[in-house]
Structure 1
Amino acid sequence: MATLRSYGAAQEVTGSCHLLRLDNGLRILVDCGMFQGEQEEEKNRAPFGFDPKKVDLLVVTHAHLDHVGRIPKLVKEGFDGIIVATRATFELAQVVLMDSAKLMEEEYRTRFRKAQRRGEEKRVPKPLYTTEDVEATWLLTHIHAKYDKPLKLLKGVRVTFRDAGHILGSATVEIAFREKGALKRIVFSGDLGNRHDMVTPHIEPVPRADALFIESTYGDRNHKNIKETVAEFKAVVRKTLLNRGNVIIPSFAIERAQEVLCILKDMYRKRELPHCQVFLDSPMAIKATHLFSKYHDQLGPKCRRFYDEDGDVFDFPYLHLTCSVEESKRINEVERGAIIIAGSGMCTGGRILHHFKNRLWNERNSVVIVGYQAEGTLGRMLVDGAKWVRLWHEDIRIRAKIYTINGFSAHADQKGLVEWMKQIDPLGKVFLVHGEKEKQKAFKKAIRKKLGKKAHIVAPKERIHL
């Protein structure tokens, strides 16, 4: 009998990694993501719990770091099988993994220099992987999946990708195989998108599943109405600019930055946006934005219309893409009328900190928080009402107005998850992954109440017989 064990994203959100073992000996790994959080480095460095050399196929649902971040480590430790993903996911993953490797190399060099002064350089751990390891990953055999086109792979296994509406290239994955003459279909939701997202299209339905492994990130709640969210965002931007201030937006590089650009371009086209300069000040977000435009046919209706009418999804006259450090520094010369979109999304590093240092003390300015801020991050401190922050050994008084705009989310809420599940007929066993345990408990109750189905919360490394 086929079995599955989750080596990540089991009773937690990050580190997605699920190993499916078939009766015919085939081993299929679905995602190989990084654990994210303040104290997760040890988990990322730990052994996988399985032998990478024995994995035949790696199926990737999408290019977020918590789904692809340990692939170079997997390759480094012996995986030499076939990687399957959509073409857009492969291209985004290259950007994400190269950025990840460069950050780890820079952090290693900084730690090493400091340790040298103490005579402790031998105690500094090497990077989890390097840029060379990332490059080696792309030398393996790749198969580009197309949505709704079943792929016949090893030993009669058929894999079908369907649009998950989460980020560019994201997919739900159906793995079909025969066991004792009977056809089985195992479905992995990956991360499912918010049905109200402006950039990505709606989630495609899955016709049937003998077993469903579904994400549960927001299984305990429903999102705020997107129209209200956008209206609130527009009001803050207009008020700040008309008050001769600047808008600073910490943003994740993939999906959220593009969503913000989409709103700003829509404002410009409707003459709702006061004259200003919009700076996308993140090399990674700029690369991702170019890829979103390249695959404009895979985006939502509004983005496709922008492309058809303007020849580009996100570009408009007020927009400036600042790749170099020198270009980023020159933004400091803009006294008013600037909208600055920069990373990191939780304000834990990156160019956003420089903009904070130069603008947080000015009461005319606004900081607009458009994404989740984890406990212990600078972003969370701002959300919680901090009066001072310390940046590069300097205390900065926070006089800028801090706005937290909830409602932007690339993940489906409880209602969206349940509605998607209702379309699966027949729906067999349901397993919950990719979520905090308390949220999974709430989602489990909702599934029982609204679908009349039992759901099982997958424990780390639990062996599940399919």
Structure 2
Amino acid sequence: MSIEIQFLGAARNVTGSRYLIKTDHTQLLVDCGLYQERRLQDRNWQPFEIPPQSLSAVIISHAHIDHCGLLPKLVKEGFAGPVFATEATAEIARISLTDAGKLQEEDAAFKKKRHEREGRKTKYPEIPLYTAEDARAVSPLFKTVEYSREIAVTEDITATFHNAGHVFGSASIELKIQENHRQKVIVFSGDLGNWDRPILKNPDLVNQADYVVIESTYGDRTHQDINEASLKLAEIINQTVKLGGNIVIPSFALERTQDLLFFLNRFMSEGKIPSLKVFVDSPMAISITKIFKEHPELYDRETSGWVNNGSSPFEFEGLHFTNKAADSKAILAEKDPCIIIAGSGMCTGGRIKHHLVNNISRPESTILFVGFQATGTLGRLITDGAKEVRILGQHYPVQARIEELRAFSAHADQPTLLRWLKGFKNKPEMVFVTHGEPETSARFTETIKNTLGWQAKAPEYQEKFILD
């Protein structure tokens, strides 16, 4: 039996998750994500390492674009097989991929106008990576699966999806590969969440694996306690309101936005912050929030109790969902302090850029980051302390208050990652550490070796391993 794994993304970097599994009979991808780091975005345009039509299947861990955002390109170039995902992931991915396609089209059109005006030429100046129509072509390929139920993916591979606790519908993937009466088990953590967080159930532990692929986004640090962080959130809001400014929160449409609504609802009902207008200025976040409402079976005990009592974390006085562009523009005219939640979470596109333009040079306003900011993104430039940033082709001095609350991240910290690994009852032959910046992955690799005594390695981009 020959089993090969090749790391085509999220290898010593954070985004672009994509792992190719080859056996004597099968070629499949686990995740098919978009690169979001500016320095790596050229990889999105490169030809796939194997002909898309030669793939037997794709398995998607969750609906974040850095895990599923290259699916439209894969389908456009010939893939027509099944895409396995949980029901919530499939529903959300249909939205997020179409939105990504629209953004690709809009960004290409905007760049074309700007480059013509400036007389500039770039490598990919005017062509969208894929369109919204390309994204919609993925939808019929989804095959939905339930948690904890083993399914046949191909004649020699089965998969079991385990709740990863990261975002709605997220999963760790357990692959069992059979050939010649032998079996190897490979477990992909996907992105792991934290225990005892709002809305979602805790991650499931997996107890058996020959090989493990684990993320390491926050593999070298410990998050602040979520309750302490929520109090800090209330403090930031109150201080900004006193100054007469806005609280602008770049937020991922999936999970982070819903978590924020959960806490803002609670704070207002408990009188910890004043009653403010809260704008969710993201059509995608609005659509995803509707999906949250439709799947109460995925809620944790606290959120289920809330809903059973006739309430909803996603409905409260002062909350405004702004779907239309005109409603989004109207926010810019708000005179009183307000909270603006908009995408994208790393400020790489979307409506957040317009709100940054309107607020980043206002000392009374606060730009609050509640999620990971990949190297090279606008969000990372701001959180790293840039004094001036370029937004929509213009330069703006950074004079607003810049805050980060990493405890709101949906990614597990180092103690939580180790807690998940300790759920394995056996010692894996190898742990592959991915989905982290180079230094972070290297440090977490050493932590695994020193703490657990297991073999661990952070693969390089496109590196291959034979799994005996």
> TM-score, normalising length from structure 1?
0.92
* 1:29 CA displacement: 1.1
Q: Which residue of 2 aligns with 1:201?
A: 201
Q: Which residue of 2 aligns with 1:339?
A: 339
* 2:465 corresponds to 1:464: yes
SS state of the match for residue 28, structure 1?
strand
Whole-Å separation in 1 of the counterparts to 2:105 and 2:43:
18
Q: Is the 8 A contact 2:98 2:135 kept in 1?
A: yes
Q: Is the 8 A contact 2:164 2:189 kept in 1?
A: yes
CA distance 1:417–1:3, change in 2 (3 Å): same
Q: Which residue of 2 aligns with 1:284?
A: 284
CA distance 1:17–1:394, change in 2 (3 Å): closer
Q: Which residue of 2 aligns with 1:97?
A: 97
Amino acid at match of 2:94: Q
Amino acid at match of 2:82: I
SS state of the match for residue 166, structure 1?
coil
Whole-Å separation in 2 of the counterparts to 1:408 and 1:370:
6
Tell me which moved more, 360-369 or 204-213. Answer: 360-369
| Paired residues for 1:240-279 under 5 Å | 240-279=240-279
CA distance 1:350–1:463, change in 2 (3 Å): closer
CA distance 1:68–1:267, change in 2 (3 Å): same
Contiguous gaps of at least 5 residues in structure 1: none
Amino acid at match of 1:143: K
Amino acid at match of 2:277: Q
Q: Is the 8 A contact 1:444 1:456 kept in 2?
A: yes
Tell me which moved more, 350-359 or 339-348. Answer: 350-359
Q: Which string of whole-angstrom CA distances, capped at 9 and with x for unpartnered residues, describes residues 290-349 of structure 1?
A: 222222321333332332223533111121111112112222333114111122323344
CA distance 1:283–1:446, change in 2 (3 Å): same
Q: Is the 8 A contact 1:18 1:30 kept in 2?
A: yes
Amino acid at match of 1:456: K
CA distance 1:21–1:232, change in 2 (3 Å): same
Q: Which residue of 1 aligns with 2:10?
A: 9
* 1:371 CA displacement: 2.4
CA distance 1:3–1:109, change in 2 (3 Å): same
Q: Which residue of 1 aligns with 2:433?
A: 432
* 1:153 CA displacement: 3.4
Amino acid at match of 1:158: T
CA distance 1:406–1:213, change in 2 (3 Å): closer
SS state of the match for residue 137, structure 2?
helix
Whole-Å separation in 2 of the counterparts to 1:386 and 1:331:
26
Q: Is the 8 A contact 1:68 1:93 kept in 2?
A: yes
Amino acid at match of 1:283: P
| Paired residues for 1:361-440 under 5 Å | 361-385=361-385, 399-429=399-429, 430-440=431-441
Tell me which moved more, 342-351 or 198-207. Answer: 342-351
SS state of the match for residue 333, structure 1?
coil
CA distance 1:391–1:119, change in 2 (3 Å): closer
> TM-score, normalising length from structure 2?
0.91
Q: Which string of whole-angstrom CA distances, capped at 9 and with x for unpartnered residues, describes residues 146-192 of structure 1?
A: 00111133215321000001111100011113222123221111111
Q: Which residue of 1 aligns with 2:166?
A: 166
Q: CA RMSD in A?
A: 2.5
- What count of residue pairs does the alignment treat as equivalent? 464
Q: Which residue of 2 aligns with 1:305?
A: 305
Q: Is the 8 A contact 2:98 2:133 kept in 1?
A: no
Q: Which residue of 2 aligns with 1:317?
A: 317
Q: Is the 8 A contact 2:220 2:414 kept in 1?
A: yes
Amino acid at match of 1:30: V
Amino acid at match of 1:130: T
Q: Is the 8 A contact 2:36 2:374 kept in 1?
A: no
| Paired residues for 1:97-136 under 5 Å | 97-113=97-113, 124=125, 126-136=127-137
SS state of the match for residue 210, structure 2?
strand
Whole-Å separation in 2 of the counterparts to 1:123 and 1:12:
22
- Name the % identity: 39
Q: Is the 8 A contact 2:280 2:340 kept in 1?
A: yes
Q: Which string of whole-angstrom CA distances, capped at 9 and with x for unpartnered residues, describes residues 363-421 of structure 1?
A: 44333222233455443454345555565677656554333333221111111111111
